[in-house]
Amino acid sequence: MLSGRRLDLLDPTPFDIEIEDIAHGLAFVARWNGQTRGDWPYSVAEHSLLVEQAFGQISPDASAQWRLAALLHDAPEYVLGDMISPVKGALGREYGEMDERVALAVHRRFGLPAKIPAAVKKQIKLADQVSAWLEAIQIAGFSETEARGIFKVPKPAYCVGLEIRLRPPAEVRQAYLNRFSELIAVI
């Protein structure tokens, strides 16, 4: 990692995890395999910021701890990359297990429980679906009709005030670090 840390993907430890490495990696990993409109790729860091905002709309009374869990929901992708669901499925159990090991190390590093409560995990998944819907129709080239056949259509109230942002990697990296710092300060 740029921080100088060495991360063993088969046996990651919390001591190997630095938020700067996560923010940097996610700011340079493109969602949708880079197949989005705009002058900048839509990064996993930008997606994670949007998911955390959507989670706040869905669960306005959620603690900062669970908002942090929403922000970090795709943290393993800083080293594993972002793969579309059909590829993840084709790779099988091994990919999922590696993702889980990195997620566990990330959670331990930042004081989150190893296992996020099912109700919170469900709300984060719903926020992820809100983000996927917005991304699909705003920047990934899907018409609303097409998207309705593939993605879960979110409640309109969950989308109020949310916007897709395309920014240079350095800017989104800093925004991710800033939001992380805000949440950690509250926790």
CA-closest candidate to residue 26, choices 73, 67, 92, 68 = 73
Number of residues assigned to the chain: 187
Query: What global pTM score does this model have?
Result: 0.96
CA distances from 132 to 32, 102, 148 (A): 10, 23, 12
Candidate from 40-49, 92-101, 140-149 with smallest mean pLDDT: 92-101
pLDDT class of 126 with cuts at 50, 70, 90: very high
The one-letter amino acid at 43: S
CA-closest candidate to residue 140, choices 30, 8, 24 = 30
Whether 182 has a pLDDT exceeding 90, the answer reads yes
**Lookup: tokens for 74:** 């795709």
pLDDT class of 86 with cuts at 50, 70, 90: confident
DSSP one-letter code for 134: H
- The half-sphere exposure of 182 on its side-chain side, counting CA atoms within 13 A, is 11
pLDDT class of 91 with cuts at 50, 70, 90: confident
CA-closest candidate to residue 43, choices 23, 73, 18 = 23
In contact, 126 and 58? CB cutoff 8 Å: yes
- The half-sphere exposure of 74 on its side-chain side, counting CA atoms within 13 A, is 28
pLDDT class of 95 with cuts at 50, 70, 90: confident
pLDDT class of 3 with cuts at 50, 70, 90: very high
Average pLDDT over residues 180-184: 98
Average pLDDT over residues 112-117: 95
In contact, 34 and 53? CB cutoff 8 Å: no
Candidate from 44-53, 79-88, 101-110, 117-126 with smallest mean pLDDT: 79-88
**Lookup: tokens for 170:** 């350095």
pLDDT class of 105 with cuts at 50, 70, 90: very high
Q: Rounded CA gap, 120 and 141, in Å?
A: 31
